[in-house]
Amino acid sequence: MLLEKLNLMLVSYKGVRVPTDKKYKDSSVVYYRYGGIFPKVYMNQEGDLTYDLLNGKGALEADKRQTFFTLPTGIKDPLKSTKKYESDQKDVQIIGKETKHIFIITGIIRRLGTGNIYTGIDTSDNSEIIMKEARYGSLPDWQESEYRHIHLKENEMNLLKDKLFSQTIPTSEFIDYFWNADSFFIIERKIEGLTIKDLLSSNPLLKQKREVLNIWKNDNLISVWKQISCIFINLHKLDLVINDISDDNFIISKNNKVYLIDLETICKFDNNQYRKISTLRFETVK
């Protein structure tokens, strides 16, 4: 079998995880999945490309490229495995490195190739938490190919633990961290609210029923804008710059307070090692 031959040939090599695929045995470079070859390609109404493939019943089905191994209807994995798929894992228990608290994963709110974002519970007080994952080998560049994203996540952890920063910049509360295999996780207190992206999508002008959220009142919008401006001003007062600015990096709580929730790319002005990291829709035009 080709997989076995590749596994034997590449046994001494080290690679990164392929989130959409399933690892072959214990290899770190040989993965496999169903689909991806000669798909039917379409463009949807939003202008995004979608991919269809034949499932096990001979019908076209979307080629869903999740950040975990998945199979279309009627297709079985030809290789036997006792490992559960990520989608089957519920109520996973984690022990924090610092607090030794037991944390339970209750759901996934975002699946990313670089690492998922999970919801969970801190069993010490039953409070809601967020777990952010950084996968080994993700976000590589020519200077740092293996641990770049893990270092970014460690940077966020260090900022959250910094008393002056947390007193100056409204952000989430750091709780703990842990490692799982080759992934690094930080645990933060969950903030209930809307991201700026969620807010924009709730624009009453885009709604047929004209549902108007309280946040869309003029005074509230002005307050939100002022708070975002203050966050940038205070970052600069701390001699810091944020490289990745996007509408997903700010959250508005139920009482209309704005929090900065993505700190990975914040650096000192004179040591800005993450200046090339940005979100596509918000990057500098060259």
pLDDT tens-place values along the chain, 286 residues long: 788 999 899 988 877 677 678 888 888 888 888 876 767 787 766 566 778 888 888 888 888 766 677 888 888 888 866 455 444 444 567 899 999 999 998 888 887 778 889 999 999 999 999 999 998 887 767 676 678 889 999 999 999 999 999 999 999 999 999 998 788 999 999 999 988 888 777 665 555 554 545 666 667 888 889 999 999 999 999 999 998 888 889 999 988 899 999 999 999 988 887 766 655 544 444 4
Q: With helix as H, strand as E and coil as C, how does 137-150 read?
A: CCCCCCCCCCCHHH
Q: With helix as H, strand as E and coil as C, how does the chain read?
A: CHHHHHHHHCCCCCCCCCCCCEECCCCCCCEECCCCCCCEEEECCCCCEEEEEECCCCCEEECCCCCCCCCCCCCCCCCCCCCCCHHHCCCEEEECCCCCCEEEEEEEEECCCCCCEEEEEECCCCEEEEEEEEECCCCCCCCCCCCHHHHHHHHHHHHHHCHHHHHHCCECCEEEEEEECCEEEEEEECCCEEEHHHHHHCCHHHCCCCCCCHHHCHHHHHHHHHHHHHHHHHHHHCCEEECCCCCCCEEEECCCCEEECCCCCEEEHHHCCCCCCCCHHHCCCC
- Rounded to 5°, angle at Cα 138 from 14 and 283: 150
What confidence score (pLDDT) does residue 89 get?
47
What confidence score (pLDDT) does residue 254 get?
86
What confidence score (pLDDT) does residue 227 get?
95
What pTM value is reported for the model? 0.70
Name the residue type at position 5. Answer: K
What confidence score (pLDDT) does residue 100 get?
96
